[in-house]
């Protein structure tokens, strides 16, 4: 361990892996923000903290079982000349869950906005934590496999994962607040979850879609939305100013 402190390659590996883990964790933070919104306001922050704590525990436990992780990539069945592993099964199940959950949330959002005026559907605390745990498992497996492929020392992997989770915990609250205040951003987040779900299913089918494409798409969409909000505030400001002048005798 002391040798790693003086190894520049270990520090470079730690910095690179931490950044990558944070980027991979964007999916997790968005899902946490959206699914916790179905809870009463006083329970949302607790649900997010529990969700990220579960993610940290799962990732460290998986890292401590590297041989088990590697075994998950061994084919267990062959279909049409292609071997599929337990990793593929988990990714496919997670992708299908994201597609289902994203579609369900979009439906509820649209129905609530334009429907019969019913109160927004709520979920029990246990049900939300269960959903978070299921997706934590999928995202953790993807994250740990990435860590195993990028770093040679388990100490570096664990420190990178811990640092990434800390960043996600700090970012979770402002992200959730922003999404809650801007329904259009929430819709973009749900669309992003659908994209990630599709990417997970594609990965399970051995058709890799580079995550950079997905992140660029959502980043571009968010940039357009930010410009729209800026333009809307500017229009409202002009309207308020002109209205004020009209009241002056």
Parse the chain into domains and list their residue ranges.
2-209, 211-249
Q: Among 57, 86, 67, 64, which Cα is nearest to 204's? A: 86
DSSP code per residue over 84-119: EEHHHHHHHHHHHHHHHHHHHHHHHHHHHHHSS-PP
Per-residue confidence (pLDDT) for residue 114, from 0 to 100: 47
38 pLDDT band, cuts 50/70/90, is confident
25 touches 164 (CB < 8 A): yes
Task: Return d(Cα 57, Cα 170) in angstroms, integer.
Answer: 17
User: Would you put residue 117 in left (φ > 0), alpha (ψ -120 to 50) or beta?
Assistant: left
pLDDT by residue (tens digit) across 170-219?
A: 888 888 888 777 777 778 888 888 888 888 888 888 888 877 777 788 77
How big is the CA angle at 195 (ends 210 and 56), to the nearest 5 degrees? 80
51 touches 129 (CB < 8 A): yes
3 pLDDT band, cuts 50/70/90, is low
pLDDT by residue (tens digit) across 94-130?
A: 888 888 888 888 887 777 654 444 444 567 888 888 8
pLDDT by residue (tens digit) across 126-184?
A: 888 888 888 777 777 777 776 666 666 777 778 888 888 888 888 888 888 887 777 77
């Amino acid at each position: 361990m002391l040798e790693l402190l003086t190894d520049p390659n270990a520090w470079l590996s730690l910095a690179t892996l931490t950044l990558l883990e944070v980027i991979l964790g964007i999916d997790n933070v968005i899902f946490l923000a959206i699914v916790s919104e179905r809870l009463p306001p006083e329970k949302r922050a607790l649900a997010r903290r529990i969700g990220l704590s579960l993610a940290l525990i799962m990732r460290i436990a998986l890292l401590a079982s590297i041989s088990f992780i590697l075994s998950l990539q061994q084919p267990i069945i062959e279909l049409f000349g292609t071997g599929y592993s337990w990793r593929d099964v988990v990714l496919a199940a997670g992708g299908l869950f994201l597609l289902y959950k994203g579609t369900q949330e979009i439906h509820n959002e649209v129905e609530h906005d334009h429907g019969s005026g019913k109160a927004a559907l709520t979920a029990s605390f246990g049900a939300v934590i269960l959903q978070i745990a299921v997706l934590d498992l999928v995202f953790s497996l993807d994250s740990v496999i990435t860590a195993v492929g990028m770093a040679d020392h388990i100490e570096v992997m664990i420190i990178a994962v811990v640092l990434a989770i800390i960043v996600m915990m700090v970012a979770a609250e402002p992200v959730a607040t922003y999404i809650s205040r801007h329904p259009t951003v929430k819709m973009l987040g749900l669309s992003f979850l659908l994209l990630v779900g599709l990417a997970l299913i594609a990965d399970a089918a051995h058709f890799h879609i580079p995550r950079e494409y997905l992140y660029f798409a959502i980043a571009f969409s968010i940039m357009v939305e930010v410009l729209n909000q800026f333009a809307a505030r500017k229009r409202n400001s002009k309207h308020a100013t002109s209205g004020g002048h009209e009241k002056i005798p």
